[in-house]
Structure 1
Amino acid sequence: MEVFDEFLAQIDNPKHRNRTEEVLAWVTNKFPNLTPKIAWNQPMFTDHGTYIIGFSVSKQHLAVAPERAGIIHFSDEIVQAGYDHSKMLVRFPWDSPVDFSLLEKMIEYNILDKADCSTFWRK
């Protein structure tokens, strides 16, 4: 988790910082084979050099970015969980609990779907 220390220190709101740290620690513990890193000033996790999931913060939410394929695959579940989403990210509001089961499914999907991917992003 030390790789994320500088990023976390830049989050002014303590509740947002704690939530972000909780989510990043959960991913780190749940998926120890993923590589945590900072790229484009955002925390993310990769597997064999390919992007799996990334995060960013805003005033209203923690954004989770499973790539477009992940959004398409889970769009119904994202809506059922009560989350708003765009083409590239899911918005986890700060004042709502994190649906870790949905997050786990998105990460597992990308790990399996990108198992043979040799590029950072899907083509």
Structure 2
Amino acid sequence: MDINEYLDGYSETQQAFVQEIFDWISEKYPQLKQEVKWNQPMYTHEGTYIIAFSLSKAHMSVSPEFKGMDVFKDKIEAAGYTHSKMLFRIKYTDKVDYDLLSEMIEFNIEDKAGYTKFWRG
């Protein structure tokens, strides 16, 4: 399954919201590979997980590694996003905090440099 097949099941509003984020990631981080695994769009770098997304009716969930959730918990809350231990949620009506996404992606790229497993244990 590719990203277009994944997005086919969602409304035009949801697709546009998510596609804008994916386009931004692809432009800013061309070294990342976009994949769909476990029915989730995600980005990997040198075979290791960086960040994933999933869609629901009211929001998009963003899943960095667990360590990144801990490091960025205060910034996630300051952005007004709800969260759990493994993900945070951006409502389709929310403003996307691209600075926060950038910090998370760059943190994971650096933290996992040379790492050979998919997930951080």
TM-score past 0.5 threshold? yes
Any runs of at least 4 consecutive aligned residues in structure 1 with deviations exceeding 3 A, and if so which?
none
Amino acid at match of 2:21: V
Instruction: Give the Å deviation of 1:97.
Output: 1.0
Paired position in structure 1 for 2:8 = 9
Amino acid at match of 1:29: E
Cα-to-partner distance string for 1:20-45 (whole Å, 9 max, x where unaligned) = 11111111111000011110011100
Following the alignment from structure 1 to structure 2, what is the Cα–Cα distance between the partners of residues 119 and 10? 31
Following the alignment from structure 1 to structure 2, what is the Cα–Cα distance between the partners of residues 85 and 117? 26
1:77 paired with 2:70, answer: no
Cα-to-partner distance string for 1:47-103 (whole Å, 9 max, x where unaligned) = 010000000001121111002111000000000111111111110111111111100
RMSD, aligned α-carbons: 1.2
Following the alignment from structure 1 to structure 2, what is the Cα–Cα distance between the partners of residues 122 and 38? 19
Amino acid at match of 2:4: D
Amino acid at match of 2:19: E
Following the alignment from structure 2 to structure 1, what is the Cα–Cα distance between the partners of residues 94 and 74? 19
Amino acid at match of 2:5: E
Paired position in structure 2 for 1:52 = 50
The aligned runs of 1:7-46 (5 Å cut-off) are 7-11=6-10, 13-46=11-44
Amino acid at match of 1:121: W
| Partner SS for 2:90 | strand
Structure 2 unaligned residues grouped into runs of 5+: none
Paired position in structure 2 for 1:94 = 92
Sequence identity percentage:
45
Instruction: Give the Å deviation of 1:116.
Output: 2.1
